[in-house]
Amino acid sequence: MTYTGLMTYQTVIPPHGGYRRLRSYQASEIIYDLTVKFCDSYMSYSTNKSYRTYDQMVQAARSGKQNIAEGSMASGTSKKTELKLIGVARASLEELLLDYEDFLRQKNLPLWDKNHPKSLEIRNRSYQSNRSYATYMTYLTNPESAANCAICLINQANYLLDRQLQALEKEFLEKGGFTENLYRARQISKGNLS
């Protein structure tokens, strides 16, 4: 690739953002909304312990969503930061997954396996266009169904984040990071590279 003249701002900083189009972000937004509704409906405020779990679940769901957005916005100037924040999002959703599993276990409610008929229904809804929190409202009628719905969605989001991390790692290895590309662009603009 040959550059002539001075590098422009747009040339040095690659396109970034666009997180709202990412399937991982869309899934995490639904998970956040469902978690808030789940906690409002099924987590008691009666003890400090329950409130702490409620708050931690909502914060883990929020962290998953927000870190995907932040990582996407940081990607223009730091692939390292993007990778780190997508990893934090993945870890936050894993923490939330364990909270939902703990809830089912502690309430003696069944954890549906991935081939349970309702799990398959939930998974199939992920292919609907314009899906949102409302797509899954029918599963929020009782704590067993609501927790298992959230677990299915978290597993889907975690799968998407794992794939996203693999793609980001591959892109970084092939194209380098911002600092490397900035140095190369500077050298090209000085006429030291072609």
**Structural contact between residues 100 and 70, judged by C-beta atoms closer than 8 angstroms:** no
User: Would 6 be classed as within a structural domain?
Assistant: no
Residues 109 and 147: beta-carbon distance below 8 Å: yes
- Answer yes or no: is 33 within a domain: yes
70 falls within a domain: yes
Closest to 65 (Cα-Cα) out of 46, 97, 88, 44: 88
The range of the structural domain enclosing residue 84 comes to 18-188
Would 115 be classed as within a structural domain? yes
pLDDT tens digits, one per residue of 132-157: 889 999 999 999 999 999 999 999 99
What pLDDT sits at residue 82?
Answer: 83
Q: Which position has the higher pLDDT, 127 or 77? A: 127
Task: Report the alpha-carbon distance of residue 113 to residue 148 in Å, rounded.
Answer: 9
CA distances from 193 to 1, 9, 185 (A): 10, 19, 9
Query: Which pLDDT tens digit goes with each residue over 46-87?
Result: 555 667 888 999 999 999 999 999 888 876 666 788 889 899
Rounded-to-integer distance, Cα 5 and Cα 144, Å? 63
Cβ atoms within 10 Å of 98's Cβ, excluding its own: 13
Quote helix, strand, coil % in the chain, to nearest 5.
75, 0, 25
For residue 113, the model assigns a pLDDT of 95
Please report whether residue 4 resides in a domain. no
pLDDT at residue 5, as a whole number: 43
Q: Is residue 2 part of a domain?
A: no
Amino acid present at 87: G
- What is the mean pLDDT of the segment spanning 159-172? 88
Please indicate whether residue 6 or residue 140 has the higher confidence score (pLDDT): 140
Confidence of residue 170 (pLDDT cuts 50, 70, 90): confident
What integer pLDDT is reported at residue 27 of this predicted model?
95
Quickly state the pLDDT bin for 8 (edges 50, 70, 90): very low
d(CA 29, CA 187): 42
Phi-psi region of 157 (alpha: psi -120 to 50; beta: other; left: phi over 0): alpha
2 pLDDT more than 50: no
Would you say residue 85 lies in a domain? Answer: yes
Structurally, how many domains does the chain consist of? Answer: 1
Tokens at 58, concatenated: 């909502």
pLDDT at 77: 65
Q: Are 165 and 87 in contact (CB under 8 A)?
A: yes
pLDDT score, position 45: 60
Q: Is residue 11 part of a domain?
A: no
